[in-house]
Amino acid sequence: MARGFVRRHYPVAIAFALGALVSLVGAFVWSQRYAVKAKTTYELALEPTELATTLYQSLGVELHPGHTVEVVPNGDVFARITVESAKAKRSIDIVMYIWEPGVASAMVSTALAARPRGVACRIVVDAFGSPTFERILQPELVAAGCEVHIFRPLPGIDPLARNHRKILVFDDELAIIGGLGVRDDWLGDGVHGVGWRDTGAVFTGPAVREAQQAFAENWQEAGGAALPAIELAPSPATGTVTAAWVASTSSSVVTRAERLTQLVITQARHRLWITNAYFAPSPAILDLLQRKAEAGADVRLLVPGDKSDVPAALRTGRELYIRLRKSGVKIWEYLPVMIHAKTMLADDDLTVIGSINLDPLSLNKLDEDALLVKDPATAAKLEAMFTADTALAKAIGRN
């Protein structure tokens, strides 16, 4: 009955949700302009050597050695999905916010249909992020033997409490995350044509179990059964990289997305480079960024320019430019296409890759995920990508 209502009144449902989004962004702008500046209520100030302790105390997340991490740009992620699907032995588990018809969807659907016999295929797709999925694409995937559930069908109790995670787990041994969606915007090289610029990661090691648990949580809420115990067994060490998986929901006053962002900003001592698709941070995060720059750190921000797919978010970010630059923050707007990446680089070894935007929705309302990595090689890769991206971007003022 509810799903039938959405099909009949879909424009109204979408208009309501978008209106609420604009209201959130507008409220943020108002608070920045007119509200009395409040003292930051949540701040971390431990030394970088205490990262593991800080992480566990603040987020309840453990930092573990034993990972491999590969940074994957743009449309390369679809080739990896095809390869890993063909190698799967037990299961392929997917949580996706955006999944729409097109070439990218055909690539993923074909790979899943061709998976080895006996491999379970489980998919959770958000109702708001993928409004045509249930009607157009779900039957094809079900026919290929996948079990598919829609996350929080509309209308719901809170239409903005969505699942923005992007998680693919293969055999509870390897995971793919990032800003990706299964839509043709993510094809291409992120420079030419209309394909978006994004960053993902492929990783193995202990954190894969935590990614699998995040999938299981969303899977059960959407109507799926509990996973077999073997699929939640501790993931073995596979490499030398130290990492942690962070899953965020809106179940606490200060979400893990907010806490993780503040933690990484606080940990930075000489460098903090951030790429983010929708920059409308909380007052606490904004204050930390300013104070970090004023203390002498090299704080850089790369955001979308006129190719942004959400003009309201672009305008909100631009409202903050003068304030940030006055503190010493260097800012670039990416020119070729929409930049959709969500990454952070602190100093020479600490990075974050995931789905977290620095906006009111990600920081307060959405289920999100990120991989925190302490590894010089991964940091060097993100440094090179950031440098290449800013070479194609417009500097705001004199950087």
* CATH code, residues 2-395: 3.30.870.10
Conformation bin of residue 66: beta by default, left when phi > 0, alpha when psi is -120 to 50: left
The pLDDT, as a whole number, for residue 18 is: 45
Q: Looking at residue 333, what is its pLDDT? A: 98
Which pLDDT score, from 0 to 100, does residue 101 have?
A: 98
What pLDDT sits at residue 95?
98
Length of the chain as a residue count: 399
DSSP code at position 339 = B
pTM of the model: 0.89
DSSP state of 229: G
Provide the pLDDT for residue 11.
39
Q: Which pLDDT score, from 0 to 100, does residue 159 have? A: 84
Report how far residue 183's alpha carbon sits from residue 352's, in angstroms, rounded to the nearest whole number: 23
Task: Please report, in tens digits, the pLDDT of each residue of the chain (399 residues total).
Answer: 333 433 333 433 444 344 444 444 443 443 343 333 333 445 555 555 689 998 998 899 999 999 999 999 998 999 999 999 999 999 999 999 999 999 999 999 999 999 999 999 999 999 999 999 999 999 999 999 999 999 999 887 788 899 999 999 999 999 999 999 999 999 999 999 889 999 999 999 999 999 999 999 999 999 999 999 999 999 899 999 999 999 998 766 678 999 999 999 999 999 999 999 999 999 999 999 999 999 999 999 999 999 999 999 999 999 999 999 999 999 999 999 999 999 999 999 999 999 999 999 999 999 999 999 999 999 999 999 999 999 999 999 877
CB atoms under 10 Å from CB of 219, counted, come to 23
In the prediction, which pLDDT does 48 show?
56
Q: Where are the domains of the chain?
A: 2-395
Give the model confidence (pLDDT) of 96-124 as tens digits.
999 999 999 999 999 999 999 999 999 99
Q: How far is CA 129 from CA 2, 215, 240, 313, in A?
A: 17, 17, 36, 17
| pLDDT of amino acid 142 | 98
At residue 189, what is the residue type?
Answer: D
Q: Between vectors from CA 380 to CA 296 and to CA 237, what angle results, nearest 5°?
A: 120
DSSP assignments along 122-148, one per residue = EEEEETTT-TTIIIIIHHHHHHTT-EE
Which pLDDT score, from 0 to 100, does residue 262 have?
A: 92
Is residue 177 within 8 Å of residue 93, measured between CB atoms?
Answer: no
Q: Where are the alpha helices (DSSP H) in the chain?
A: 2-34, 51-59, 76-87, 103-113, 138-143, 207-221, 256-267, 283-294, 311-319, 321-327, 360-364, 376-390
